[in-house]
């Protein structure tokens, strides 16, 4: 797999380092020649100086055979254009953009970026996950078909408790992919019985989230 | 018409002045307060300090009721993002943007944006002028023969 990283700030640097250590073929594009000089001493010839939003730079970096382009500069407008140029000119099938202003996540997805990563939202969701009282956590949104992955803590007195999954009246376009139970991960079948305290990892169409939340976190009382 | 202009450089300021004189309502956005010095004193348009790629800033410029949106900052990518916010999110009927880089200009034209590329526009004008001069010169040499 060939991964092209654009933007050699802290995120781009550590991302490149990690991906190289994991054995991926990685190439890093950075604007600042001083940084490029330093990174070349550490990574060798896989670092190139240039503007990743320019067609010529992406071509020289071999964007045509890249499986993934990851745009992690500090400027949202640059990350958007890098992903769009990679997709439109080089047919890159998977583009990932760092989003500095969390409000841009939705816009970027509508404009064809496959995955967006907002540090603000990541930290927010980490905080949410640390708060045990929070029964419904949005883990990730996927662009295709408005899918989302959510984590739901089933209410102790929910009507779905002690029922096998096939009998629970889930809304359509929703699938339970994993159950977290006392530190274990269970991949459920229709026969798996939901127990008190279970956390369900559910893939859902985004428009079904409200029904799902209502079904699992609403108490009988 | 209600017109929002992003970027108060030479082009943005010139457009703002002309369009106000034609009777349009103009709101102009720039990151720097000093950019508005290009506008005359008591300029009747609305001035907003902020970045044209922030929806909150664009809303305070009245993007929701805009008939036309013009992105002419000196940064191609800012113009591209601002224009796509206007076209895709707010469905402004007329969206025009400047892109200096001819290759990016071509890509976003293909994606349905109304792009003006000063680089190719100016180069073409100069080439035309050269061609005309060439023709005039060869015509006069033919005459002399």
Tens-digit pLDDT profile for residues A94-118? 999 999 998 898 899 999 999 888 8
Distance CA A144, CA A115 (A): 10
Q: Topology of domain A131-217, per CATH?
A: Alpha-Beta Plaits (3.30.70)
Q: Which residues of B touch A53 (CB under 8 A)?
A: 76-77, 104
Nearest to B77 among A77, A107, A110 (CB): A77
- Residue B33 — φ and ψ, nearest 5°? -55, -40
Asked if CATH classification 3.90.950.10 holds for the domain at B2-119, the reply, yes or no, is no
Nearest to B78 among A54, A77, A85 (CB): A77
pLDDT tens for each residue of B73-83: 999 999 999 99
Residue ranges of domains in chain A: 2-118, 131-217
Distance CA B80, CA B61 (A): 18
Q: What is the SS3 assignment for B23-60?
A: CCEEEEEECCHHHHHHCCCCCCCEEEECCCCCHHHHHH
pLDDT tens for each residue of B12-24: 999 999 999 999 9
Beta-strand pair A199-205/A174-181: antiparallel
- Does A84 sit within 8 Å of B103, measured CB to CB? no
What is chain A's pLDDT, residue by residue, as a tens digit (221 residues)?
999 999 999 999 999 999 999 999 999 999 999 999 999 999 999 999 999 999 999 999 999 999 999 999 999 999 999 999 999 999 999 999 999 998 898 899 999 999 888 887 777 776 666 655 556 666 776 766 678 888 888 878 888 889 999 999 899 889 999 998 988 888 999 999 999 888 898 988 888 888 888 888 776 54
Taking the whole predicted model, whether its pTM rises above 0.90 is answered as: no
Asked if CATH classification 3.40.50.720 holds for the domain at A2-118, the reply, yes or no, is yes
């Amino acid at each position: 797999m060939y991964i092209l990283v654009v933007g050699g700030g802290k995120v781009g640097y550590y991302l490149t380092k990690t991906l190289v250590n994991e054995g991926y073929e990685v190439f890093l594009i950075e604007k600042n020649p001083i940084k490029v000089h330093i990174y070349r001493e550490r990574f060798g010839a896989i670092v190139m100086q240039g503007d990743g939003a320019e067609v010529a730079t992406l071509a020289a970096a071999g964007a045509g055979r890249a499986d993934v382009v990851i745009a992690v500069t500090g400027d949202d407008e640059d990350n958007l254009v890098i992903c769009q140029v990679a997709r439109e000119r080089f047919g890159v099938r998977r583009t990932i953009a760092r989003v500095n202003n969390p409000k841009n996540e939705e816009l970027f997805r509508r404009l064809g970026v496959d995955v967006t990563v907002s540090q603000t939202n990541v930290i927010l969701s980490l905080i949410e996950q640390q708060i045990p009282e929070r029964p419904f956590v949005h883990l990730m949104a996927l662009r295709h078909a408005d899918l989302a992955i959510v984590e739901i803590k089933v209410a102790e007195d929910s009507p779905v408790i002690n029922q096998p999954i096939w009998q629970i009246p889930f809304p359509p376009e929703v699938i339970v992919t994993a159950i977290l139970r006392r530190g274990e991960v269970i991949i459920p079948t229709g026969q798996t019985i939901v127990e008190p305290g279970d956390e369900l990892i559910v893939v859902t169409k985004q428009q079904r989230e409200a029904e799902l939340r209502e079904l699992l976190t609403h108490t009988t009382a | 018409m209600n017109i929002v202009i992003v970027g108060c450089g030479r082009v943005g300021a010139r457009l703002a002045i002309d369009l106000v004189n034609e009777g349009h309502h103009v709101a102009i956005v720039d990151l720097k307060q000093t950019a508005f010095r290009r506008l005359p004193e008591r300029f009747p348009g609305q001035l907003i300090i902020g970045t044209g790629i922030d929806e909150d800033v664009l809303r305070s410029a009245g993007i929701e009721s805009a008939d036309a949106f013009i992105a002419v900052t000196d940064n191609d990518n800012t113009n591209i993002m601002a224009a796509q916010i206007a076209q895709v999110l707010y469905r402004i009927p007329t969206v025009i943007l400047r892109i200096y880089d001819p290759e990016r200009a071509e890509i976003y034209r293909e994606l349905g944006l109304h792009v003006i590329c000063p680089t190719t526009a100016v180069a073409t004008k100069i080439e035309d002028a050269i061609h005309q001069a060439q023709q005039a010169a060869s015509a006069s040499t033919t005459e002399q023969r």
